[in-house]
Amino acid sequence: MIYADHQEVLCAGDLYYLPPGHTAIVDEDYEAVEFSPPAVHEQVLDVIKRNAAMAPTATALSSLHSRLPPAR
């Protein structure tokens, strides 16, 4: 996950909270269970769908990923 001031790497089995303002770079297929408070669940899904529709191609992401500084 990329934030304005830091990066985080999530691995299989991790439990995490992702506050607004992150950008995800996914290197491989994965399965996840996402939980959100019921009152905002639809808003979260709308953001995910909108971002997925605008996502660049895998080639563009690979190029971006190679230019990122190492995760802390």
* Helices and strands per DSSP (H, E), number in the chain: 2, 0
Cβ–Cβ < 8 Å for 71, 11: no
pLDDT for res 42? 84
pLDDT for res 62? 61
Question: Could you report the per-residue pLDDT of 23-63, keeping only the tens digit for each?
Answer: 888 888 888 887 878 777 888 888 878 888 887 665 555 66
Distance CA 35, CA 14 (A): 14
pLDDT band at 6, cuts 50/70/90? very high
pLDDT for res 46? 86
Note down the domain range covering 22.
1-72
pLDDT for res 9? 92
What's the pTM? Answer: 0.53
Our count of domains for the chain comes to 1
Residue 48 host element (H or E): helix 41-54
